[in-house]
């Protein structure tokens, strides 16, 4: 069903490969028949109207949905050639490799330093100088270092919304993830901060695979290399992937009429 | 708006139920006019006698007698303050209490049995040994010829007339060991002693054998005398006492009738069944009208 | 209709007669007289505020304030009366004598130190056992258990909270004491038995409050921790527990208050020896148990000393409530300061940060790559933990689950104990008959009636006052010192040990007011117990009504009272009803208050001035006598059925309320 155009190729088997993926919340069949390959070290955007399953799909990629009772999935989803749902795979370890940024900035109610050091500490980094280095470099990568360098002891909640979101990004970068999942990372922050986060994504892309769920078509157009359009056509039926391909091409020449309707603003 | 109202009605259901219950309850037992109600308060030891007498008395005369067991002291307090008509007591008046115009009536005799665990080989104690045990001076059964086992003291609460009687007969001025367990009921003392090897306690002899209890206890002889009704009645058993009714001034009206009923032959058997010794046990003649009242001031 | 007209009429009269002195409502002519007549005619004139409406609103507000102040008055009165009754402690006994170690009233010694030590020992031990169980249970329910398990276990916790203390005491006396006696070779009375029973009793308090604290931790923070690759245990230990710390500490302090103030259960199992505890299996006494034991017969200095102990208990519990308030307000202030710093962290242009103002994409990439390199190398220095994270996680999950299971098992055990022993006793004759004979054979009908009678009466006293007071606090009061004070008073009232409430009820209603030992005295004292419970839940319920619903009504021109009575109270009704029903459950099972305010005579009350014996008191007396245990089990079962029925009914109401809100 899905319209593929220029499906990204990853000859080394890198990136994320999804085959005939289905997902259920209890009895509710939320996603059906999703097939796609996500290019490594590129930005891929998931778009679609509310309830189209794009966030659900995103949360499947680091198995956050395991935390919800009664969820179930079928099909294949692999990261760099490894099935992440294979029996015995530790979701905790998976999440270290696949970091996540949420819609609402959610720093821990601790100091800025402790927020960033949280992940490395979990991994057993105890040396103060190692931690100092990691905190500094991570904050630098998140473009936050200059703003907070003198006040690492401050509570993370004392930052502005945009700064909090970048702190959350620094926090994830501190554990060196291969993939960064961003679930509408800009919908709860002000426009200037959005600009900074988008710039940051562009900077990070060459080193980290980024997948972003967004409601804003403009944002998808601005930041992403590839784009996937999800849609639930009728209430009660599972949503699925409609069209997937190069962002510019989808915007200029959508193949599926439903995609066209959506990006021209006819529904959603 | 419909649903909230239904909620309100639902919430009212228990309320209505409660009121209905209370209503039908009060209907079954309205006291007809002309009948009076008197209150008897005090000793838990006397409670059984007072209660059964109250039931029978009510059936016979229609007058209601409310009986409550607050402890002897509380009962006497209640009569002095006018809250109760009759105080039931398992001890005589203290000096302070005797300064009020209370009139006492002996309604029964009672012996206090010394109980130990069935497994305890000790058979006899003297009054002096008993005093030393309860004063905390004798702490081990081996000092009484028994096994090497710590003595676990079980005492009664201060409101208990049994404790008061025990204090005046056994302790004779010595102080109780305050680290003893203080239990507020006869049955509890019996139960605890029956389950703990080193325990010792004291209860009315009428409660030593109980139809309710699933366990048994052993009574010690005191100065070599068995704790039996006969020995209490003939004065051989040393730890015995009288049970009293106290009234503020001479008993009048219904109170007088009730006291008279308690002392009548009709109650003799009941008092025996309750484990006490009726005042006419020894068949010493007592005329119907003499309620053997003595002025409270002379007590002690 | 005619009704509303009549009302308006009455309102006007009321105004004319009674309230000339009140401030006049703002009058439109006071503000600005409309001079442009043409405009005035063409536009619809703004109606002046109706005097009657104004007066009615004002009167209602004052009435609500009055109700709120009743709680304050009660707290003050309890303290003043108890203190007044204990005056001889200062004049005759002397503080030195009062705070000495020998308690022997019959010999003129009134030292309470040994009793204080007993209270402290019993409380500390109960906390040591109860807190891990309770907090573990709360963590299990909020962080680990599946929804279905949570529903079952939290019901169990609520039901444990509902079981009256006299049944806990009974359970301790009949089940735990013999076990401990066998194990220790002693009598089985003492601190150890009390620890076990009290630990169970404080679990519901601490668990419920800790669950509130844990649930209020931002779920996003939890998710963030998981998404960073933290295990469940790491998330709980490093993120959730620290965030909920203040709430949990408060829960523990309140649980401590509960343990110190507990009377009946302790009285039945500590052995009541007023000496310094020399072992945990030897008999001890506590402040509360000694008051309950001696109250019935004490007089003179002895009685004054008991009231003095009441004052001590009162001060302790008010102090604990004060500590909770200080902790809470401090942490709230700290949070406010943390999230709104005096000098906000300046935002700088992100572009200029990584590599300077005129950096190219290439140098940005370089900077990113070198940073990433460095982080990777530092991460490689990580030590392998000695125990695998997953093993720790599994172990701790097991520990927390065990806490939940133990709590549920205890509930099942206690209910099972009462049901198995009590069921054979329940016959129509037992329910509808009168106690007869030496050992209360027969039925317990008068005690059932007495219990229901006094509970209905207390509910009628407490509910209107509590609900109106809550309306004042939630809707009318300016949040400031007065409200804070009222709330502190309410919290204190809620934590006053029930035996102190009983002392107060005896001194004021029985003696000073001359109501004697009666339904009325007991109901008034019980109303004081119910008042803060109902106030709290009602206030919460009213506050949880969304603000915009109110705005909607105001926008349509409703007056304050119309908004409150037509919109807010109906919306809050299910939760208010839940609170009332739960308070009724508490009142039914209350023993210490009733013991010395209602009397103990078996009687079928007709007028409120009749005395009687409630079911908990009957159970207490039967258990103490220790003779007719069958009747005790039967009474315990009936009592428990009544209270559990009320509790389940309350859950039903609140669930229905929730479902209705959710459905629409």
Quickly list DSSP for chain B: -HHHHHHHHHHHHHHHHHHHHHHHHHHHTPPPTT--EEEEEE-TTTHHHHHHHHHHHHHHH--EEEEEES-HHHHHHHHHHTS-SEEEESS---HHHHTS-EEEEEEEEEEEEEEE-TT----EE-HHHHHHHHTTS--BGGGGTS-S-B-EEEEE-TT-HHHHHHIIIIITTPPPPTTSEEES-HHHHHHHHHH-TTEEEEEEGGGTS-SS-SS--EEEEETTB---HHHHHTT-SSSEEEEEEEEESS--HHHHHHHHHHHSHHHHHHHHHTT-EETTTT-----SS---EEEGGG--
Do chains C and A touch, with touching meaning 3 or more CB–CB pairs less than 8 Å apart? Answer: yes
Of A169, A199, A202, residue with least CA distance to A183: A169
Q: Give me the pLDDT at residue B13, please.
A: 44
- Interchain contact C655–B (C-beta under 8 A): no
Q: Which residue has the higher pLDDT, B268 or B211?
A: B268
Helix H, strand E, coil C: the string for C88-131 is: HHHHHHHHHHHCCCCEEHHHCEECCHHHHHHHHHHHHHHHHHHH
Ranges of chain C with pLDDT below 50: 1-4, 10-31, 33, 342, 350-359, 662-664
Question: B15-110+242-295: what CATH class?
Answer: alpha beta
CB spacing of A157 vs C339 below 8 angstroms: yes
Q: How far is C317 from chain B (nearest CA, A)?
A: 27
Of the partner residues C104, C299, C601, the one whose CB lies closest to the CB of residue B39 = C601
Q: Which two tokens stand for residue C379?
A: 């991460």
Cα distance between residue B252 and residue C296, in whole Å:
27
Query: Taking CB atoms and an 8 Å cutoff, what residues of chain C touch A106?
Result: 218, 220-221, 223-224
Query: Taking CB atoms and an 8 Å cutoff, what residues of chain C touch B154?
Result: 187
Q: Which residue has the higher pLDDT, B158 or C661?
A: B158
Q: How far is C161 from chain A (nearest CA, A)?
A: 28
CB spacing of C146 vs A138 below 8 angstroms: no
CB spacing of C452 vs B18 below 8 angstroms: yes
Of the partner residues A69, A137, A176, the one whose CB lies closest to the CB of residue C147 = A69
CA triple C154-C411-C429, angle to 5 deg: 120
Q: Give me the pLDDT at residue B205, please.
A: 86
Q: Give me the pLDDT at residue A52, please.
A: 86
Cα distance between residue A131 and residue C378, in whole Å:
8
Q: How far is C28 from chain B (nearest CA, A)?
A: 36
Cα distance between residue C465 and residue C458, in whole Å:
11
Q: Which two tokens stand for residue C648?
A: 């389940």
Q: Burial, C323: exposed, middle or buried (Cβ in 10 Å; 0-12, 13-18, 19+)?
A: middle
Assess whether pLDDT exceeds 50 at residue B285.
Answer: no
Cα distance between residue A180 and residue C120, in whole Å:
55
Cα distance between residue C590 and residue C498, in whole Å:
8
Ranges of chain A with pLDDT below 70: 1-13, 266-268
Inter-residue long-range contacts of B204-211, CB under 8 Å, 24+ positions, other chains counted: B204/B45, B204/B110, B204/B111, B204/B112, B204/B113, B204/B162, B204/B275, B204/B276, B205/B110, B205/B111, B205/B112, B205/B113, B205/B229, B205/B232, B205/B275, B206/B110, B206/B274, B206/B275, B206/B276, B207/B275, B207/C627, B208/B113, B208/B115, B210/C627
Rounded to 10 deg, the angle between the C569-589 and C615-625 helix axes is 20
The two beta strands, B37-42 and B64-69, are parallel
SS3 A185: coil
CB spacing of C224 vs A168 below 8 angstroms: yes
For residue C96, count other CB atoms closer than 10 A to its CB. 8
Quickly list DSSP for B240-262: EEEEEEEEESS--HHHHHHHHHH
Q: How far is C153 from chain A (nearest CA, A)?
A: 17
Q: What is the 8-class DSSP label of residue C49?
A: P
Quickly list DSSP for B160-173: -HHHHHHIIIIITT
Q: Give the H/E segment covering residue C40.
A: helix C37-42
> Half-sphere exposure of residue B60, counting CA atoms within 13 Å on the CB side?
14
Q: Which residue has the higher pLDDT, C21 or B235?
A: B235
Q: How many CB pairs under 8 A join B and C?
A: 183
CB spacing of C439 vs B48 below 8 angstroms: yes
Interface probe with C: pick from A68, A94, A134, most Cβ of C within 10 Å: A134
CB spacing of A92 vs C242 below 8 angstroms: no
Of A173, A190, A241, A165, residue with least CA distance to A3: A241
Cα distance between residue B114 and residue B124, in whole Å:
10
Minimal Cα distance from C444: which residue of B?
A: B25
CB spacing of B179 vs C626 below 8 angstroms: no
Q: What is the 8-class DSSP label of residue C433?
A: S
Counting DSSP H helices and E strands in chain C, the numbers are 32, 4
> For residues B199 and B192, is the Cβ–Cβ distance under 8 A?
yes
Equal CATH topology for B15-110+242-295 and B112-233: yes
CB spacing of A147 vs C348 below 8 angstroms: yes
Helix ranges, A106-256 (H): 112-122, 128-141, 145-148, 161-173, 191-204, 217-223, 247-252
Question: B112-233: what CATH class?
Answer: alpha beta
CB spacing of B192 vs C600 below 8 angstroms: no
Task: Note the residue count of chain C.
Answer: 664
Q: Nearest 5°: phi and psi at C29?
A: -70, -25
Quickly list DSSP for A42-83: SEEEEE-STTSSHHHHHHHTTTGGGGSTTEEEEEEEEETTEE
Cα distance between residue B266 and residue B253, in whole Å:
20
User: Which strands, in side-by-side order, build the sheet including A209-213?
Assistant: A3-4, A240-246, A226-231, A43-47, A209-213, A179-183, A98-101
Q: Which two tokens stand for residue A153?
A: 């002891």
> For residues B223 and B127, is the Cβ–Cβ distance under 8 A?
yes
Cα distance between residue C324 and residue C330, in whole Å:
10
Q: Give me the pLDDT at residue C53, please.
A: 79
Which pLDDT band holds residue B83 (cuts at 50, 70, 90)? Answer: confident
Q: Give the H/E segment covering residue C429.
A: helix C428-432
Handedness of CA A112, A115, A121, A123 (dihedral sign): negative
- Interchain contact C41–A (C-beta under 8 A): no
CA triple A109-A111-A113, angle to 5 deg: 135
Residue holding tokens 């979990």?
A122
Q: Where are the domains of chain B?
A: 15-110+242-295, 112-233
Of A30, A24, A100, residue with least CA distance to A61: A100
Quickly list DSSP for C300-353: HHHHHHHHHHHHHHHHHHHHHHHHHHHHHHHHHHHHHHHHS-SSPPPP--THHH
Rounded to 10 deg, the angle between the C300-339 and C498-505 helix axes is 130
Handedness of CA B214, B215, B216, B217 (dihedral sign): negative
Q: Which residues, in sequence order, are CB contacts of C90 under 8 Å at separation 6+? A: none
Instruction: Give the gyration radius of chain A's Cα atoms.
Output: 19
Counting DSSP H helices and E strands in chain A, the numbers are 10, 11
For residue A192, count other CB atoms closer than 10 A to its CB. 12
Of A19, A20, A48, residue with least CA distance to A32: A20
SS3 C45: coil
Query: Taking CB atoms and an 8 Å cutoff, what residues of chain A touch C380?
Result: none
Q: Give me the pLDDT at residue A268, please.
A: 45
Q: What percent of chain B has pLDDT over 90?
A: 29
What's the CATH code, domain C86-339+390-425? Answer: 1.10.3720.10
Of C213, C81, C26, residue with least CA distance to C135: C213
Q: Nearest 5°: phi and psi at C164?
A: -70, 150
Q: How many CB pairs under 8 A join A and C?
A: 182
Q: Which two tokens stand for residue C230?
A: 């933290």
Longest dimension (CA), chain A: 57
CATH of C434-467+496-664, one of 1.10.3720.10, 3.40.50.2300, 3.30.430.20, 1.20.20.10: 1.10.3720.10
Q: What is the 8-class DSSP label of residue C496?
A: S
Instruction: Give this prediction's pTM.
Output: 0.80
């Amino acid at each position: 069903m899905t319209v593929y155009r220029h499906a990204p190729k990853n000859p080394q088997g890198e990136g994320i490969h999804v085959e005939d993926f289905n997902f259920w919340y209890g009895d509710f069949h939320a996603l059906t028949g999703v097939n796609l390959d996500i290019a490594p070290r590129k930005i891929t955007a998931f778009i679609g109207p509310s309830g189209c399953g794009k966030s659900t799909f995103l949360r499947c990629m680091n198995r956050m949905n395991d935390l919800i009772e009664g969820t179930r999935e079928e099909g294949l989803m692999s990261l760099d050639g490894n099935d992440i749902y294979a029996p015995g795979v530790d979701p905790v370890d998976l999440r270290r490799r696949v970091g996540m940024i949420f819609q609402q900035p959610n720093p821990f109610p601790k100091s800025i330093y402790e927020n960033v050091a949280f992940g490395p500490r979990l991994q057993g980094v105890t040396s103060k100088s190692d931690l100092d280095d990691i905190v500094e470099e991570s904050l630098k990568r998140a473009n936050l270092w200059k703003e907070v360098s003198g006040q690492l002891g401050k509570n993370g909640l004392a930052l502005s919304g945009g700064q909090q979101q970048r702190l959350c990004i620094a926090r994830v970068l501190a554990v060196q993830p291969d993939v960064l999942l961003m679930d509408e990372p800009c919908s709860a922050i002000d426009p200037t901060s959005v600009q900074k986060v988008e710039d940051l994504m562009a900077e990070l892309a060459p080193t980290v695979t980024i997948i972003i769920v967004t409601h804003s078509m403009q944002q998808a157009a601005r930041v992403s290399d590839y784009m996937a359009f999800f849609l639930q056509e009728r209430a009660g039926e599972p949503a699925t992937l409609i069209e997937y391909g190069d962002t510019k091409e989808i915007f200029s020449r959508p193949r599926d009429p439903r995609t066209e309707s959506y990006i021209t603003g006819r529904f959603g | 708006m419909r649903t909230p109202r239904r909620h309100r009605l639902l919430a009212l259901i228990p309320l209505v139920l409660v009121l209905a219950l209370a209503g039908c309850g009060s209907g079954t037992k309205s006291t007809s006019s002309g009948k009076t109600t008197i209150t008897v308060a005090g000793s838990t030891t006397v409670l059984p006698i007072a209660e059964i007498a109250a039931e029978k008395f009510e059936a016979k005369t229609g007058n209601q007698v409310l009986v409550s067991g607050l402890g002897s002291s509380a009962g006497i307090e209640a009569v002095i303050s006018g809250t109760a008509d009759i105080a039931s007591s398992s001890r005589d008046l203290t000096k302070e209490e005797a300064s009020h115009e209370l009139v006492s009536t002996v309604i029964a005799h009672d012996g206090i049995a010394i109980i130990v665990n069935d497994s305890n080989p000790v058979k006899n104690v003297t009054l002096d040994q008993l005093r030393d045990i309860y004063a905390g001076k004798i702490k081990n059964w081996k000092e009484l010829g028994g096994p090497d086992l710590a003595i676990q003291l079980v005492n009664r609460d201060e409101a208990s007339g049994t404790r008061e009687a025990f204090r005046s007969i056994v302790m004779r001025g010595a102080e109780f060991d305050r680290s003893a367990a203080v239990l507020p009921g006869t049955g509890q003392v019996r139960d605890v002693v029956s389950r703990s090897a080193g325990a010792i306690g004291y209860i009315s002899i009428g409660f030593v054998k109980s139809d309710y209890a699933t366990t048994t206890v052993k009574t010690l002889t005191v100065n070599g005398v068995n704790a039996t009704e006969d020995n209490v009645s003939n004065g051989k058993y040393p730890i015995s006492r009288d049970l009293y009714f106290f009234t503020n001034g001479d008993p009048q009206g219904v109170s007088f009738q009730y006291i008279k009923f308690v002392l009548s032959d009709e109650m003799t058997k009941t008092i025996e069944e309750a484990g006490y010794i009726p005042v006419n046990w020894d068949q010493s003649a007592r005329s119907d009208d003499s309620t053997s009242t003595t002025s409270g001031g002379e007590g002690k | 209709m005619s009704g509303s007209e009549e009302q308006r009429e009455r309102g006007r009269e009321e105004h004319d007669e009674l309230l000339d002195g009140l401030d006049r409502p703002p009058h439109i002519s006071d503000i600005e007289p409309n001079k442009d007549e043409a405009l005035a005619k063409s536009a619809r004139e703004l109606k002046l505020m109706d005097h009657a409406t104004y007066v009615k609103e004002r009167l209602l507000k004052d009435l609500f304030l009055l109700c709120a102040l009743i709680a304050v008055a009660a707290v003050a009165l309890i303290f003043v009366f108890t203190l007044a009754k204990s005056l001889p402690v200062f004049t005759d006994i002397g503080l030195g004598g009062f705070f000495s170690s020998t308690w022997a009233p019959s010999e003129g010694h009134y030292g309470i130190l040994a009793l204080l030590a007993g209270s402290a020992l019993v409380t500390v031990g109960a906390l040591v056992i109860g807190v891990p169980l309770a907090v573990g249970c709360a963590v299990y329910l909020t962080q680990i258990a599946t929804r279905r398990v949570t529903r079952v276990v939290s019901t169990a916790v609520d039901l444990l909270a509902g079981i009256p203390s006299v049944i806990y005491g009974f359970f301790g006396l009949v089940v735990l004491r013999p076990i401990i006696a066998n194990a220790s070779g002693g009598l089985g009375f003492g601190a150890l038995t009390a620890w076990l029973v009290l630990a169970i009793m404080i679990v519901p308090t601490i668990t419920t409050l800790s669950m509130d604290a844990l649930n209020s931790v931002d779920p996003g923070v939890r998710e963030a921790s998981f998404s960073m690759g933290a295990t469940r245990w790491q998330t709980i230990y490093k993120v959730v527990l620290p965030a909920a710390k203040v709430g949990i500490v408060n829960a523990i302090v309140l649980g401590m208050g509960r343990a110190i103030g507990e009377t009946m259960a302790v009285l039945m199992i500590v052995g009541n020896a007023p000496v310094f505890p020399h072992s945990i299996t030897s008999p001890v006494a506590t402040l509360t148990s000694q008051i309950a034991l001696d109250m019935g017969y004490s007089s003179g200095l002895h009685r004054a000393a008991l009231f003095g102990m009441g004052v001590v208990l009162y001060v302790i519990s008010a102090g604990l409530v004060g500590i909770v308030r200080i902790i809470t307000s401090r942490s709230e202030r700290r949070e406010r300061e943390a999230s709104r710093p005096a000098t906000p962290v300046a935002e700088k242009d992100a572009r200029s940060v990584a590599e300077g103002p005129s950096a190219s994409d290439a140098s940005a990439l370089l900077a990113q790559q070198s940073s990433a390199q460095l982080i990777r190398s530092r991460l490689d220095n990580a030590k392998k933990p000695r125990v695998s994270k997953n093993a720790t996680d599994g172990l701790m999950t097991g520990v927390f689950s065990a806490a939940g299971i133990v709590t549920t098992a205890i509930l099942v055990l206690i209910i099972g104990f009462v049901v198995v022993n009590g069921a054979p006793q329940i016959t129509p004759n037992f329910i509808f008959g009168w106690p007869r004979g030496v050992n209360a054979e027969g039925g317990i009908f008068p005690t059932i009636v007495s219990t229901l009678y006094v509970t209905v009466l207390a509910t009628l006293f407490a509910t209107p006052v509590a609900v109106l007071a809550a309306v004042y606090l939630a809707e009318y009061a300016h949040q400031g010192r007065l409200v804070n004070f009222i709330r502190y008073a309410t919290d204190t009232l809620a934590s006053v040990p029930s035996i102190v409430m009983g002392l107060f009820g005896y001194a004021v209603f029985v003696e000073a007011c001359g109501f004697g030992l009666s339904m009325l005295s007991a109901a008034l004292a019980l109303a004081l117990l119910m008042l803060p419970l109902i106030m709290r839940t009602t206030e919460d319920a009213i506050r949880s009504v969304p603000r915009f619903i109110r705005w909607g009504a105001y926008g349509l021109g409703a007056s304050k009272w119309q908004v409150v009575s037509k919109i807010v109270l109906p919306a809050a009704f299910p939760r208010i009803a839940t609170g009332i029903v739960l308070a009724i459950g508490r009142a039914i099972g209350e023993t210490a208050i009733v013991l010395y305010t209602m009397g103990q005579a078996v009687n079928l009350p007709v007028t409120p001035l009749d005395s009687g014996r409630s079911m908990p008191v009957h159970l207490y007396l039967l258990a103490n006598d220790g003779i007719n245990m069958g009747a005790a089990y039967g009474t315990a079962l009936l009592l428990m059925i009544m209270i559990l029925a009320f509790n389940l009914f309350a859950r039903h109401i609140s669930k229905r309320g929730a479902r209705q809100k959710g459905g629409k």
